[in-house]
Structure 1
Amino acid sequence: MAVGGNAIRGTRVGSGPMGEQDHGHHAERISVSYWDSLGNETVRYYAAGVPEEEIPDVVDHPHSGLPAGRDKDNPPQVARNEPYKTHLAYVKERRTDEEAEQLLDEALQKLRDRRGE
């Protein structure tokens, strides 16, 4: 086996001279800082032409997972997760026991009328 090495190892074939800084046109951009409730900062970059109302007020911090806002002194708080509710739980919130009993009686009466009982 021949001793030696690969002549192109460690080079970027076809990409131009090493250290070339002009790899195309860079669009203007703005940086926006966000802070979470632990004081961690994250920076997001947006195109300079984006209207202010399209830049989000709250993002998820990539390391802590907490919501991060643009106001350093008032970061957003973690939203409390509501437990999963069944359809029956939502119905019970809207109806009293008496209303439920009345609706059940009406439904049973309609069923009996259809069956001819």
Structure 2
Amino acid sequence: MVSGNAIRGTRVGGGSPSVPERGEPAPRQFVDYWCVNGHQTRPSFSVRAQIPETWECRRCGLPAGTDRDAPPEPPVQRPYKTHVAYVMERRSAEEGEQLLAEALAALRARRGEAPS
């Protein structure tokens, strides 16, 4: 059943595709990039644009380069560290025990408790 909506499937400002109201498109060039997984990404750039050395792979998100035989290495991902792990890098166990004893003494002094 046909509805009476004549502009169905068009967008506002779309116009006819046969009439170039906005002028000619800028000249483009396509550049091939490959990631370490062998995926090819082919973005287009203006012919006057500076071509970047790396581009993000559209399939896996790893960096891709223009040399198919030598793609860029994936970035090194450091494992997640907790706050305690960072503190342990800066302080020794003895320093930690001393700081804990000082903090407990200050807490007990505020509460009015006798030192243990």
TM-score range for the pair, normalised by the shorter chain length: 0.5 to 0.7
Give the letter aligned to residue 15 of structure 1: S
| Equivalent-residue separation in structure 2 for 1:87 and 1:34 (angstroms) | 39
| Equivalent-residue separation in structure 1 for 2:102 and 2:67 (angstroms) | 55
Aligned counterpart, 1:68? 64
TM-score by length of 2: 0.61
| Residue correspondence of structure 1 range 1-117 to structure 2 within 5 A | 15=16, 20=18, 23=20, 24-50=23-49, 52=50, 55-117=51-113
The alpha-carbon deviation at position 57 of structure 1 amounts to 3.2
2:81 match: secondary structure: coil
2:32 match: secondary structure: strand
2:71 match: secondary structure: coil
Structure 2 CA distance for partners of 1:94 and 1:70, relative to 1, 3 Å: farther
The alpha-carbon deviation at position 28 of structure 1 amounts to 2.8
1:75 match: secondary structure: coil
Aligned counterpart, 2:5? none
Extract structure 1 runs of 4+ deviating beyond 4 A. Answer: none
The alpha-carbon deviation at position 26 of structure 1 amounts to 0.5
Give the letter aligned to residue 37 of structure 1: V
The alpha-carbon deviation at position 49 of structure 1 amounts to 4.2
Structure 1 residues without counterparts, runs of 5 or longer = 1-11
Q: Note the aligned Cα RMSD (angstroms).
A: 3.0
Structure 2 CA distance for partners of 1:92 and 1:65, relative to 1, 3 Å: same
Give the letter aligned to residue 40 of structure 1: H
TM-score by length of 1: 0.61
Give the letter aligned to residue 91 of structure 1: V
| Equivalent-residue separation in structure 1 for 2:111 and 2:98 (angstroms) | 20
